[in-house]
Structure 1
């Protein structure tokens, strides 16, 4: 069994629908107009025959039970054979009392139906002729009432010719209109779908590397799609860059434990190897590798519909810090409304954990997390009561592998990693001084 396969194309589908629906609509329109015009023509014929019947009635005279009609009537066609207009007068029994000269040679049959006295009847007889009959009661001098039926008949040639001409012009005009509508719709579809074609070309340009994102001017209906595509592409680029940075961080982080192990092995080959020291460095390397792989495998591709509450995450990190820094921990406070972060919870924990850990590591034991919203941004400030960061070191410490001091242990890559995560979400990190605690203030600015 053959099945009609519709092309999976908007142009083809809309064109096919138009080709199917437009003839149907035009056909129904033509049928309605044809019926209306046909009824209008019939009404015109009725009015014309009614007038001619009144002409016959006005010209007739009756006396002594005899009907008399003048030799010539006001309508000349009654006197012209073959004119197509006929006049008849019959009595109550249907016997023809008078017929016009135009009926000579024409086969006219008496009408089978008669109207009521004083009433008229219009229709088409068995021979296809239009007729109009009027039944009158004629009172003569003696007071006797005689019944006459005045009838006017007309061939349908004029009616059919007018209807045929109208149908020709109607169907020709509607066919031309249909072709024009199809052409106009094709142009409208081409113009209306042009933004999609432009978007396809822009995507092809992105595949060839000529552009990095969809930068065209698109209609409002397509803008959510282009926005999400750009966000997805930007996130994918951020993830690739994040993988590269992770590999660089991993190589950088392994240098120190490898150097310690090499030094231990090569210092004195005759001396027994410090197994405990080597085990510490191996454990450290394993932790670094697990950390970097976990960071690289975290949800770096932003999940558009996932939202994570900030306050519970910050409070959990604060409880952990109380155990990590039992000697330096004095207070931890989360201030502000509980707002949500659009992204993965592990990324939020990585960012907050890094900054809160630095606050306890370099501060005097007090850390505050302030959650605010501003326009379409989520602001998270992590403040401590430490010495703060000098202005000249503000940008320097955000670079990979750079630290502001050499006292606390670390690899100097935490803040740069944090900034990499922020960039994948379109956020930024600013550094200032806390007005309440007097130490450093790191502000995470994230889109809501």
Structure 2
């Protein structure tokens, strides 16, 4: 579709521009021809005016003008006759010169217009052309006579034909040059579109992430919209990738808990089935939660208050099975009715990662404290493990970074916690615990009722 529209658009604009140039140059050529025609006509008429004394001398020899001074004869010493006729008001030829008679112009008066613009071009039989000049118009005995001097228009028509040829040649040359410049201008003018198409192809092939910002103003809105779409698509892919990583990380803990349950020989079959069904239910909730995060992002999830104790109790049962060899104790320094400004899924994901991290590194105990202030709720999760080195206390919240290299893991859990807390405009940081291990502190603003 793109290949069909773009050439059609270019062709339409190009044809329109060429048509405009052709119309303008044709009009210009017509004006030039008109001006040159008038110039030639004026030149010929000036020659006719210069011949007037000779015509008068010819009339004198014919006896039509009797009282003419001798100096007129000296003006025309040759025997050349001039084409001249006298016409009456009925367009009859009353007199014609010798040259007019030789040229068989006896009926020339019939071809003359009633009012002769001086000078004028007339056509006789056989397309023979003459330039006519109305010398005088007299009235005698009620009749109107006019003296007309003529000259062959052969040289005029030849010169005019050459003028037309030259005009056509230069007109064609001008059009070719104009079209060449126009094509070059179009090539230059459409360069941003070619660049845009090339960069879009590169984006489609994943060779670049966005378009350049140096496009003409007419294309700025288009390029900005494409870049916005590219960023949205890139963010969407990133959310899906992170969600799948987070899901794998969370499922790994649940699978470890399931394996621990299967290895526990002290559980009755009914209780074992119930515990496994709880893990499966939690896995299903995790899948739904991560898919929702992938689609709408962490900011798009619904915010609400949730009870902390049921979540901590469920996680404690699961982690106690996974890390049964440590026989770690979880101390909860908060009441059973404590509510945190997190929805249930975020609360489960946040404390699941935090407690799994604490159980993994602790020696024998983990402690959770909750403090309610005027506008914030502060949660502190402590363990008696090796703690976190000061130079790693900020880096461990980045995706893929772990404070230790001895234990297995991908460095995802704490980054997920940071993303969840950040989506609630809260803060999370790590400090040294009174238990001589790590203390993770979370400050969450209360939700508006």
Q: Which residue of 1 aligns with 2:286?
A: 288
Q: How many Å separate the matches in 2 of 1:170 and 1:397?
A: 82
Question: 1:249 offset after TM fit, Å?
Answer: 0.6
Aligned counterpart for 1:159 among listed residues 153, 156, 159: 156
Rg bigger for which structure?
A: 2
Residue 364 in 1 paired to residue 348 in 2? no
Contact 1:135 / 1:150 at 8 angstroms: preserved in 2? yes
Greater percentage in helix:
2
Q: Which residue of 2 aligns with 1:80?
A: 80
Q: Which residue of 2 aligns with 1:131?
A: 132
Aligned counterpart for 1:251 among listed residues 231, 248, 251: 248
Q: Which residue of 2 aligns with 1:189?
A: 186
Q: Which residue of 1 aligns with 2:314?
A: none
Contact 2:87 / 2:146 at 8 angstroms: preserved in 1? yes
Kindly tell me the number of residue pairs found equivalent between the two proteins.
Answer: 355
- Give structure 1 stretches of 5+ with no counterpart: 301-309, 332-349, 368-383, 404-410, 423-428, 434-438, 443-448
Report SS of the residue matched to 2:149: strand
Contact 2:377 / 2:444 at 8 angstroms: preserved in 1? no
Question: 1:421 offset after TM fit, Å?
Answer: 9.1
Aligned counterpart for 1:218 among listed residues 197, 215, 229: 215
CA RMSD of aligned residues (A): 5.3
Question: 1:123 offset after TM fit, Å?
Answer: 3.7
Contact 1:254 / 1:285 at 8 angstroms: preserved in 2? yes
Instruction: Give the TM-score, by structure 1 length.
Output: 0.59
**Aligned pair in 2 of structure 1 residues 209, 272: CA closer, same or farther (>3 Å)?**
closer
Residue 240 in 1 paired to residue 248 in 2? no
1:41-190 counterparts in 2 under 5 A? 41-42=40-41, 44-46=43-45, 48-49=47-48, 52-53=51-52, 56=55, 67=66, 72=73, 74=75, 80=80, 86-89=83-86, 96-97=94-95, 99=97, 102-103=99-100, 105-109=102-106, 110-112=108-110, 123-125=120-122, 127=124, 128-137=129-138, 149-190=146-187
Contact 2:84 / 2:149 at 8 angstroms: preserved in 1? yes
Report SS of the residue matched to 2:217: coil
Q: CA offsets per residue over residues 210-241 of structure 1, 9 Å max, x none?
A: 54443474333333333333333333333223
Q: CA offsets per residue over residues 132-165 of structure 1, 9 Å max, x none?
A: 22444489xxxx9997532211111132122112
Q: CA offsets per residue over residues 8-36 of structure 1, 9 Å max, x none?
A: 45555555555666545544443444345
Report SS of the residue matched to 1:160: helix
* Residue range with higher mean Cα deviation, 45-54 or 282-291: 45-54
Contact 2:213 / 2:223 at 8 angstroms: preserved in 1? no
Q: CA offsets per residue over residues 176-197 of structure 1, 9 Å max, x none?
A: 0111111112222222222333
Q: How many Å separate the matches in 2 of 1:294 and 1:329?
A: 23
1:335-354 counterparts in 2 under 5 A? none
Question: 1:264 offset after TM fit, Å?
Answer: 2.4
Contact 2:139 / 2:145 at 8 angstroms: preserved in 1? yes
Contact 1:120 / 1:135 at 8 angstroms: preserved in 2? no
**Aligned pair in 2 of structure 1 residues 41, 260: CA closer, same or farther (>3 Å)?**
same
Q: How many Å separate the matches in 1 of 2:378 and 2:6?
A: 69
Q: How many Å separate the matches in 2 of 1:251 and 1:432?
A: 23
**Aligned pair in 2 of structure 1 residues 440, 187: CA closer, same or farther (>3 Å)?**
same
Question: 1:75 offset after TM fit, Å?
Answer: 7.3
Q: CA offsets per residue over residues 379-428 of structure 1, 9 Å max, x none?
A: xxxxx36489999845544547999xxxxxxx655445459999xxxxxx
